[in-house]
């Protein structure tokens, strides 16, 4: 009789499984998955990732998507008039910007798949060497636009501005050097300073000769912050800051047009039709926007008044069309993006990961501040685009490359341990699992949990179930039961391998009186207290002790156990 419940339980489990398998076959495997089952992508990217790591990652992705969509909208609004008049299509710049975003996202996806271990190999120096060659090629074969030589024509690619891609390469190389000194300790301080100087100064010299002082300022400021995060002493940081300020002042005042930009900041209205032309128009655009703006598409400065309205000065169009409230929301989203990037950096288990994520986040922040403060007239305008918003191919792809590096750090912030490897080899019990040929229908092939048995088929201290009352009687082949297993039986836990038949057994009241006489086999028998709560009050009716029998020396107290 002990085997019948197991056969019934197995049949009740297998029948729905056969129906589900037939339904899966009819629908081509597109039936809804069981609860708790993940797809392959979800298992790889979501399952098992702690919330503290997943939360900043999702925030970063959401803010990045919002900024890219907002940038497309504002590029179309700011460039539609110029595109229609010069190219015959109001969506000319919009379509090109969408293509640049797609190319940048593809590059970001590739970078997010490259392990950090590969980035700290010799491949980083090969990439650094390639960028230096491109910067030199710009000086030799570059095209001069507006008095600056920053672009080079490449086959199958077209125009390319290597200085935008030098930003991410310098960050990765500098992080590799600092990782080797602080974490691996494979180089000494002298070698670290020499390698870091070569890594930063050589490309900066080529960029200055273009000339592109704004990009030099952004790269130098980012590497300076990375050195601070790495753990440079305050004396060394102060010395580097002083030397950098002196070098910057020399470069600014050694050029007439750079000095004119500095003096224009103090009073742009002194020459409103000369050096202060763009600055005054940007101020007028912000002033006309007011609190809530004129509305998207209703800007007047984009009608050939403000030069580069869809590029360097797109923030002025945002202020005119969306007003103070729209600009404040835009600033808040960008600040949240930077915060998520720095949070990802703080969760990286390696020095290299922390420096790459923090360096990319700081670089985005510095370029944002350079553009914003320049348009607002706080600092000289350097001509740097607004990250993820301004129109431009190399700039957009370079910024998305930084985002891809941040995502790579986030994906490696949850390292696998030896315990994860052991858990991956576990097998669990469940309904609808595959069964080996000729095996027990309640057993998963290769399971480490053993065969599934309904509770009614178990032997407890020489007793087995004999009827539907839940009481036990002597049985053959009974196995001794340990203390912990006896406690499970005493409490009647259904989570240790029971089925519907067992639950029905536990909930059935005895049909012939409240007491049954049976042979004692120990102090941990399973007692049926009945389905009615009133039957569980032991103070009613005659009682039988199970804590030591009638021997007063074995009684444990007035309330029993």
Enclosing H/E stretch for 150 = strand 148-154
Alpha helix (H) residue ranges in 29-145 = 40-45, 51-87, 92-111, 116-119, 123-141
Q: How far apart, in Å, are the Cα atoms of 262 and each of 10, 227, 382?
A: 84, 28, 10
* pLDDT for res 448: 52
Q: Is residue 410 within 8 Å of 56, Cβ to Cβ? A: yes
Rounded Cα distance, 460 and 474, in Å: 9
Q: What is the pLDDT of residues 343-391, one digit of tens each?
A: 999 999 999 999 999 999 999 999 999 999 988 888 888 878 999 999 9
Instruction: Write the DSSP symbol of residue 347.
Output: T
Q: What is the pLDDT of residues 127-150, one digit of tens each?
A: 999 999 999 999 888 877 767 788
* pLDDT for res 78: 92
Q: Is residue 408 within 8 Å of 112, Cβ to Cβ? A: yes
Residue at token pair 């600009």: 327
Q: Which has the closest alpha carbon to 356: 415, 410, 298? A: 410
**Least confident window among 17-26, 340-349, 382-391, 434-443:** 434-443
Percent of the chain's residues with pLDDT above 90: 39
Q: What is the mean pLDDT of residues 44-72?
A: 87
Q: Could you tell me the pTM of the whole model?
A: 0.69
Q: Which has the closest alpha carbon to 258: 386, 385, 382? A: 382
Name, of 41-50, 101-110, 158-167, 463-472, the range with top average pLDDT. 101-110
Asked if pLDDT for residue 204 goes beyond 50, the answer is yes
Rounded Cα distance, 128 and 125, in Å: 5
* pLDDT for res 212: 85
**Least confident window among 15-19, 34-38, 293-297:** 34-38
At a CB cut-off of 8 Å and minimum separation 6, what does 453 contact? 6, 442, 497
- What is the phi/psi pair of residue 153, to 5°? -90, 125
Asked if pLDDT for residue 14 goes beyond 70, the answer is no
Q: How confident is the model at residue 251 (pLDDT cuts 50, 70, 90)?
A: confident
Entry field: residues in the chain: 561
Q: What is the mean pLDDT of residues 227-234?
A: 91
* pLDDT for res 360: 96
In the structure encoding, which two tokens stand for residue 244, read together? Answer: 């950098």
Share the mean pLDDT of the chain. Answer: 76
Q: What is the pLDDT of residues 507-531, one digit of tens each?
A: 444 444 444 444 444 444 555 555 5
């Amino acid at each position: 009789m002990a085997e019948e419940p197991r056969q019934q339980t197995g049949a009740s489990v297998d029948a729905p499984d056969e129906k589900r398998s037939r339904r899966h076959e009819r629908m081509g495997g597109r039936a809804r998955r069981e609860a708790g089952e993940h797809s392959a992508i979800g298992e790889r990217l979501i399952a098992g990732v702690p919330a503290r790591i997943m939360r900043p990652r999702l925030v970063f992705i959401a803010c990045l998507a919002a900024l890219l969509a907002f940038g497309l909208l504002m590029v179309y609004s700011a460039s539609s008039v110029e595109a229609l008049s010069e190219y015959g299509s109001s969506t000319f710049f919009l379509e090109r910007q969408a293509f640049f975003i797609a190319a940048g996202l593809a590059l970001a996806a590739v970078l997010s798949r490259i392990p950090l271990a590969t980035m700290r190999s010799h491949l980083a120096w090969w990439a650094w060497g390639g960028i230096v060659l491109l910067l030199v090629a710009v000086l030799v074969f570059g095209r001069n636009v507006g008095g600056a030589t920053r672009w080079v024509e490449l086959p199958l690619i077209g125009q390319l501005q290597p200085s935008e891609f030098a930003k991410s390469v310098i960050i990765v190389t500098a992080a590799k050097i600092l990782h080797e000194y602080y974490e691996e300790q494979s180089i000494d301080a002298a070698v670290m300073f020499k390698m870091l100087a070569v890594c930063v100064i050589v490309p900066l010299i080529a960029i200055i000769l273009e000339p592109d002082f704004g990009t030099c300022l952004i790269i130098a400021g980012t590497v300076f912050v990375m050195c601070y995060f790495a753990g440079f002493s305050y004396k060394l940081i102060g010395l580097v800051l002083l030397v950098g300020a002196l070098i910057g002042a020399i470069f600014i005042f050694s050029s007439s047009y750079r000095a004119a930009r500095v003096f224009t900041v103090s009073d742009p209205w002194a020459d409103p039709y000369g050096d202060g032309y763009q600055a005054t128009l940007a101020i007028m655009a912000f002033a006309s926007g007011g609190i809530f703006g004129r509305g998207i598409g209703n800007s007047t400065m984009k009608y050939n008044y403000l030069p580069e309205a869809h590029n360097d000065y797109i923030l002025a169009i945002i202020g005119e069309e969306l007003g103070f409230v729209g600009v404040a929301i835009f600033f808040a989203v960008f600040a949240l993006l930077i915060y998520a990037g720095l949070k990802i950096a703080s969760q990286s288990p390696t020095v290299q990961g922390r420096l790459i994520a923090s360096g990319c986040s700081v670089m985005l922040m510095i370029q944002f501040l350079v553009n914003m403060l320049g348009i607002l007239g706080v600092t000289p305008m350097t001509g740097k685009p607004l990250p993820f918003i301004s129109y431009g191919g190399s700039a957009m792809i370079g910024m998305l490359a930084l985002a891809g590096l941040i995502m790579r750090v986030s994906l490696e912030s949850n390292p696998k341990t030896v315990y994860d490897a052991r858990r991956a080899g576990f097998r669990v019990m469940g309904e609808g699992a595959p069964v080996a040929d000729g095996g027990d229908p309640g057993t998963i092939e290769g399971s480490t949990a053993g065969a599934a048995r309904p509770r009614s088929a178990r032997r407890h201290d020489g007793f087995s179930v004999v009827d539907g009352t839940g009481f036990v009687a002597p049985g053959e082949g009974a196995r001794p039961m340990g203390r912990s297993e006896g406690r499970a039986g005493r409490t009647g836990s259904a989570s240790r391998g029971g089925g519907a038949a067992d639950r029905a057994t536990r909930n059935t009241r005895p049909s012939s009186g409240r007491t049954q006489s049976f042979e004692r086999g120990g102090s941990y028998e399973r007692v049926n207290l009945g389905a009615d709560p009133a039957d569980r009050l032991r103070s009613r009716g005659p009682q039988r002790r199970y804590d030591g029998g009638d021997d007063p020396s074995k009684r444990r107290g007035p309330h029993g156990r």
